Amino acid sequence: MAFPHRPDAPELPDFSMLKRLARDQLIYLLEQLPGKKDLFIEADLMSPLDRIANVSILKQHEVDKLYKVENKPALSSSEQLCFLVRPRIKNMRYIASLVNADKLAGRTRKYKVIFSPQKFYACEMVLEEEGIYGDVSCDEWAFSLLPLDVDLLSMELPEFFRDYFLEGDQRWINTVAQALHLLSTLYGPFPNCYGIGRCAKMAYELWRNLEEEEDGETKGRRPEIGHIFLLDRDVDFVTALCSQVVYEGLVDDTFRIKCGSVDFGPEVTSSDKSLKVLLNAEDKVFNEIRNEHFSNVFGFLSQKARNLQAQYDRRRGMDIKQMKNFVSQELKGLKQEHRLLSLHIGACESIMKKKTKQDFQELIKTEHALLEGFNIRESTSYIEEHIDQQVSPIESLRLMCLLSITENGDARCSLDTHYGPEHLLTFSNLRRAGLLTEQAPGDTLTAVESKVSKLVTDKAAGKITDAFSSLAKRSNFRAISKKLNLIPRVDGEYDLKVPRDMAYVFSGAYVPLSCRIIEQVLERRSWQGLDEVVRLLNCSDFAFTDMTKEDKASSESLRLILVVFLGGCTFSEISALRFLGREKGYRFIFLTTAVTNSARLMEAMSEVKA
Amino acid sequence: MNRTKGDEEEYWNSSKFKAFTFDDEDDELSQLKESKRAVNSLRDFVDDDDDDDDLERVSWSGEPVGSISWSIKETAGNSGSSHEGREQLKSRNSFSSYAQLPKPTSTYSLSSFFRGRTRPGSFQSLSDALSDTSAKSYAPELGRPKGEYRDYSNDWSPSDTVRRLRKGKVCSLERFRSLQDKLQLLEEAVSMHDGNVITAVLIFLKRTLSKEILFRELEVRQVALRHLIHFLKEIGDQKLLLDLFRFLDRTEELALSHYREHLNIRDPDKRKEFLKTCIGLPFSAEDSAHIQDHYTLLERQIIIEANDRHLESAGQTEIFRKHPRKASILNMPLVTTLFYSCFYHYTEAEGTFSSPINLKKTFKIPDKQYVLTALAARAKLRAWNDVDALFTTKNWLGYTKKRAPIGFHRVVEILHKNNAPVQILQEYVNLVEDVDTKLNLATKFKCHDVVIDTCRDLKDRQQLLAYRSKVDKGSAEEEKIDALLSSSQIRWKN
C-alpha cells in the first residue's frame, strides 16, 4: 500500500512561497486604495482566494464588507468600492452599470478594479465604451499559480480550455509564460525543456522572449528543477475522456474536487450536515489512498480501522499514569485519524452505491473495449442504449467522443432528440475542438484533398486552410496506441495491488497516452525515434526540445520534472506520473491550467445562454 | 465490539479481494460497512471530550468561519433586511467584533498553512513577509504596479509597440494609419502569440478600417480571424459577426450563430417565431431537419402547456389532481415531452396534438425509444394493464404473443426501478429468453418461483439446494423447494 519513494528521490521545492507572494501582492493592491472599502469578489476567485488569505487579513487592510459579483444592484453604502475579478466582459458591464447608476444618482465614490491574473484590452475597451474609463482605476493581481498540494500547482483557469481549444483565442498564453517566468525566477532556470502541441510551442517561445527581455534575473542561479515538459490537452483527449478509477480521480468524478477541497454531503458524513474537506498530502489517510486503484482502497481502510481499534484498545488495563500519557500524547493523533478514516469510508460507501446504481461495470467494460478496439458494434449499441435511457447527457456525449476519437469516425447519434435541440450547437463545438472527429477514412480523405486542390485560388486560401485543418484533426488513436504500446498485454489477471506500469490507473487496460509520451521523451532526453508518433499526433511542427549545457544542475535537480498541462490535467494522469516517478526515482511537479475530468471537458463545450 | 477475537481475526483475514468488480456490492459494501461500524463504535470514546480544546484541528470543516466564502454568504443572507439588521451586520462584519463569533467546530484557514509563524489574530505584516523572504532575491513587479503608467511617445516601431502592449502599458496606436502599417502591426502581434495583444490590435483595426477591408485582410490571416470572431461573440456584436460569416461564405456557421440567439429569448411565443426564421437557413441537411423539429416541438408544447395548465387549475381532471405537474413542458427535449404525454395523455386519440402516437409519428420516434418511454411512464403510474398491452401483439390467427423490441431483460429492470410488485416482475422475468439472464434477474429481484421453476427445468439440484438458504424459513417457497428436492419424478443432472 502507498508505495514509498525511493530513498534517492529528490526533495520537492517549497511552493508555499507562491502563496505568500500572492497574498502580499494583494495586500499591496488593497493598500493602494487607503481607507474603508467594500470588496466585490468574483465567484470563481473565492475559493482560490480562500486558500491564500482570509477575512481577517482583508479586514486588516480596511475591507469593510464583502460581496459576490453577481447581476444584482449593489447595496453597498461605502464610499470606496473595490472589485476583484477575472478579466471578463460581463464583469465590466456589471461594474459599468453600478458606476453609471451612481452617476445618475449624483453620487461620487472611488472605484478600483483589480484584474486577476491580468487585464485584457477588450475589458478596457468596454469600460471606455460605457463611459467610465477614468472613473475607475485598474490594477492587476498576477495571482496565477496556486499550490494545491506539495506537487500540484494550478492556475485555476478552467476557461483556458474553451478559449484556446475551441475558440482559438491565445489570450492566456501570456499568462502561462508569465507564470513560467515567475517559477524560473524563484527556482532557477530549467536546463532541459521539452514540449508538444501548438499552444505549448507558443507559450514556450513567449516565455523565452520574456526571459531575454528581463535578462539577468535568473542568471547564475542554480537550477532547482532539471526538466520542464509542456503538453497541449488536445494531444491526448482520450485519457481525459475515460472514467477514473484511482481514488482521487474517482472522488473528483463523483463529488467534484474544487480548488483542492471537496464538499462531502450528508450521505458521506453520516450526519445531517455537509463538510468541506481539504484533500492533500496533509491528510494522512487520504495521502495513502489517493493514488490507489479503487479496489485496493477498501482493504487499506479496513486495515487502518483494525489498527486504530487496536491502539484504542491498549488503554484498557492502563494505569493512571499510562493513561495520562496516552491522552496527552497519542489521543490527538488517533482522534484525527479516526475522523479522516470515517470520512473516507463514508466516501467509499457513497461512491460504491452510486457506481453500482449506474452499472459502472458495464460502462468500464465498454470503455476498455473502445480503447482496445474490439467489439465496436457492441460498444456502439451500448452507447445508443445509454442515450435511449436518458442516463445523463454529459455522460453520453463523453462516450460518443471517446468512440469517435478511438474509432476515428463521427459517431453522431440522435442525441438532439433526447437532450434538447440546443445540442446542435454543442455538436458543432465538439467537432471544432476535435473531440468529435469527421468521418474521413482513407479514400474519402484523398478524394477531399483532390477536390480542395482544384479549388485553389487566392480568394479561397482561407477556406482551404480551414478545410485542411479540420481534416488534420483526424485522430490516429489506434495507430498511436500500437506504436506506443498503450494497451498492455496481460497474461492472466492484472494485479492492481502491485501495479507494474502506469496502466494501473485504468485497471490495467490502458497506459495514459499523455504520460507515455512524457515517459518516452524523458528516457531519450529528446524526441528522437518518436517521429512517427509525433506525425500521427499531427504535431510535426510542434514538438520541440531545448537543452542548455548546464554544469550547475545537481543530479538531484535533474530528477525533478515540471510537467505543464495546457488545457487541464486529470487526477489519473497525476497518479500515473507519480507512479512513474517512484519507479524511476524521479519526482514530478504538476502545473496545470486547471484540474479537469471528462465531465468538465464536456461542459466546457456546451452552449448556454449569454 | 461484541465480536469475539476469533471472529474478528477471521473477518479481517478472509480478504475478499479477488478480481475487483463494482457489481460485488454485497461483498465490498459489507466490508466497508464493517469498517465503518468499527470506526463508529469508537466515536463514543472519541467524542466525549470536548471538541473545543486546542488540539490540532483536522484540516477540514464545513464552511469555516473566517473563510471568504462564508463571509460573503453572511453579507448576502443579511442584505435587504431591516435597518436594524443592517446595523447588526455592520458590526458583525467589522473586524473588531470578529473574535467574538462562536468558535467553529473545526477550522481550516489560511493561518494553519503557515503554522508556527501565525497565531490567530496576529498576521504577518507586509514588511515581515518581505524581509522574511528576502533571502531569495525576487519580488517581481511588487512595488511598481503596471498599467498606471503611460507613454505618449510616438516613435515606437511595430515590434516595440507590440512588446509594450504585452506588458500592459498604454500605448497609442493612432500613428499606424496606412494599411500597410496596420497590417504590419497585426502581424507582429500574431507572431508574438499573445492573444490579448492580437485583440488589442484588432479593436484598433475594427475602429479604423471599413469592414470590407478588415474582413478581406483577415480572411488570409486565420489566427487573427479567430480572435476577431471570439471577440465579437464575447462583446455580443452579433450583427458584425453575421456579416463576417457572410463575407467569408461560412454559411453553416452563419446559420448556427443566428440560431444560437434563440437561447437568449425567454418568451415562448417569441422564441417560436424566432425559430421559424431559422428554418430556411443553410444548415447541413441533418441539422435542417432538427431545426424544423425544434420549431414544431415548441409549437406543440405551447399548445399542450396552455391546455394542461387550464385543466390543472380547473381541478376537474383526475390525473392532474393525483399527480400535479412538477414543471412546465415548455422547452423540454422531445423525449421528455413524449414521457409527459404518455403520463398525462396516454389514451388520447391520435388526432390530438398531445397524444403519444401523434408525437411518435410527427417526430418519427423509433419504436425502441417509444416503448422505453411509454413503459417508464405507465410503470410510474402503476398502470400494469397498459404495460401488458404495450408488449402484446396479435398474429393473423388471433393468437396473442408477447414481444418487446427492447428485450425483456430491460423491461424487467425498468419495472423494478419503478417498484413494480413481485407478481408483475415475475411475469416479465419469465419472458426473458436467455436462461442465464433469466436466472440472474430472478435471483436479483427475488422472484422465487421463477428461480425454483428454472432450476427444476434445468434439473440443477445443486443450485436449487443453494437457493434454499436464500428463501425465508418456513415459507411457501421453502416448502416448494423441499417438495421438489424429495420428488422422485425428476432426474437431477447433479
Chain A neighbors of B93, CB-CB under 8 A: 64-66
Q: Which of B61, B168, B236 sits opposite A275 (nearest CB)?
A: B61
Give the integer Cα–Cα distance in Å for A571 and A597: 8
| Cβ contacts of B252 on chain A, cutoff 8 Å | 428
d(CA B72, CA A464): 52
pLDDT at A36: 92
pLDDT digit string, tens, across residues B427-438: 888 888 888 888
Q: Select the residue of B66, B233, B333 nearest A55 (Cβ to Cβ).
A: B66
| A286 → chain B, closest CA residue | B59
Closest chain B residue to the Cα of A312, Cα to Cα: B42
Instruction: Measure B339 CA to nearest chain A CA, in Å.
Output: 11
Chain A contact set for B59 (CB, 8 A): 278, 282-283
Nearest by CB to B368, which of A338, A388, A390? A388
Between chains, do B94 and A273 touch, taking CB under 8 Å as contact? no
Beta-carbon separation of A50 and B197 below 8 A: no
Chain B positions touching A54 (Cβ under 8 A) are 66-68, 109-111
* Cα gap B278→A286, rounded to integer Å: 53
| Gap between the Cα atoms of A280 and A150, Å rounded | 8
- Residue B105 pLDDT: 39
Tell me if residue A573 falls in helix, strand or coil. helix
Nearest CA in chain A to B216: A459
The ipTM is 0.90
Give me the residue spans of the domains in chain B: 155-249, 265-365, 381-442, 447-493
Please tell me what DSSP assigns to residue A189. Answer: -
Distance from CA of B332 to the nearest CA of A (A): 6
Interchain contact, B235 vs A126, CB within 8 Å: yes
Q: Residue A193's closest CA among A528, A543, A540?
A: A543
Residues of chain A with pLDDT under 50: 1-2, 412, 414, 416, 440-472, 610
Residue B154 pLDDT: 57
Distance in angstroms (rounded) separating the CA atoms of residues A2 and A301? 12
Which sign, positive or negative, has the C-alpha torsion A185, A187, A189, A193? negative
In A462-507, the DSSP E strands lie at none
User: Which strands form A261-264's sheet, in the order they lie side by side?
Assistant: A261-264, A275-278, B60-61
Side chain identity, residue A258: K
Residue A461 to residue B98, Cβ atoms within 8 A? no
Residue A379: what pLDDT?
84
Determine whether the interchain pair A66/B126 forms a contact, defined as Cβ–Cβ distance below 8 Å: no
Alpha carbon separation from B109 to A24, B60, B64, B69 (Å, rounded): 17, 9, 7, 12
A247-356 is classed CATH 3.40.1190.20:
no
List b or e across A95-107, with b for residues whose CB sees 16 or more CB atoms inside 10 angstroms. bbebbeebeeeee
Asked whether A156 and A191 are in contact (CB, 8 A), the reply is no
- How far apart, in whole angstroms, are the C-alpha atoms of residue A610 and residue B472? 60
DSSP-derived secondary structure letter, A243: P
Distance from CA of B436 to the nearest CA of A (A): 17
- Our CA-based measurement puts residue A596 at a distance from the nearest CA of chain B, in whole angstroms, of 22
Q: Looking at per-residue confidence, does A291 or B76 come out higher?
A: A291
Judge: domain A147-236+510-605, CATH 3.40.50.1910: yes
Contact A428 B256 (CB under 8 A): yes
Give, in words, the CATH class of A15-142: alpha beta
In the prediction, which pLDDT does A494 show?
A: 84
User: What sign does the CA torsion over A351, A355, A358, A363 have?
Assistant: positive
Task: Enumerate the residues of chain A whose CB falls inside 8 A of the CB of residue B288.
Answer: none
d(CA B262, CA B277): 10
Candidate from A240-244, A405-409, B104-108, B480-484 with smallest mean pLDDT: B104-108
How far is residue A418's CA from residue A416's CA, in Å, rounded to a whole number? 5
8 Å CB contact between A140 and B145: yes
What pLDDT, on the 0 to 100 scale, is given for residue A186?
92
A55 and B36 within 8 Å at the Cβ level: the answer is: no
Residues A204/A230, Cβ–Cβ less than 8 Å: yes
d(CA A550, CA A192): 9
Contacts of B91 in chain A (CB under 8 A): none
Q: State how far residue A291 is from chain B, nearest Cα, in angstroms.
A: 17
Interchain proximity B226–A168, CB inside 8 Å: yes
Chain A closest-CA separation from residue B154 CA (Å)? 20
Residue of A nearest to B77 (CA): A67
d(CA B418, CA A385): 19
**pLDDT class for B75, splitting at 50, 70, 90?**
low
In a 13 Å sphere around the CA of A326, the CA atoms on its Cβ side amount to 13
**Which three cell numbers mark A398?**
463523453
User: Are the Cβ atoms of A420 and B331 closer than 8 angstroms?
Assistant: yes
Over the stretch B317-372, which tens digit does the pLDDT of each residue have? 888 888 888 888 898 888 889 999 999 999 888 888 889 999 999 988 888 888 88
User: Are the beta carbons of B223 and A168 closer than 8 angstroms?
Assistant: yes
Q: Does the pLDDT of residue B88 top 70, yes or no?
A: no
- Map out the domains of chain A as residue ranges: 15-142, 147-236+510-605, 247-356
Quote the cell numbers at residue A428.
458543432
Q: Cα separations (Å) of A376 from A365, A406, A444, B175, B300?
A: 12, 10, 21, 61, 38
User: Are B25 and A120 in contact (CB < 8 Å)?
Assistant: no
**Given a cut of 90, is residue B226 above it in pLDDT?**
yes
A-B interface: how many C-beta pairs under 8 angstroms? 330
CA-to-CA distance for B280 and B251, rounded, in angstroms? 12
Mean pLDDT lowest among A187-201, B75-89, B263-277: B75-89
Q: Which residue among B34, B60, B263 sits closest to A608, beta carbon to beta carbon?
A: B263
3-state secondary structure A312-352: HHCCCCCCHHHHHHHHHHHHHHHHHHHHHHHHHHHHHHHHH
Cα distance between residue B456 and residue B459, in whole Å: 5
B121–A356 CB contact, under 8 Å: no
Name the residue of chain A whose CA is nearest to B201's CA.
A121
- Report which of A243, A259, A176, A359 is spatially closest to residue A602, judged by C-alpha positions: A243
pLDDT band at B284 (very low <50, low <70, confident <90, very high): confident
Taking a C-beta distance cutoff of 8 angstroms, is the pair B337, B301 a contact? yes
Separation CA B34–CA A348 (nearest Å): 13
CB A86, CB A116: distance < 8 Å: yes
Candidates B17, B145, B287; nearest CB to A299: B17
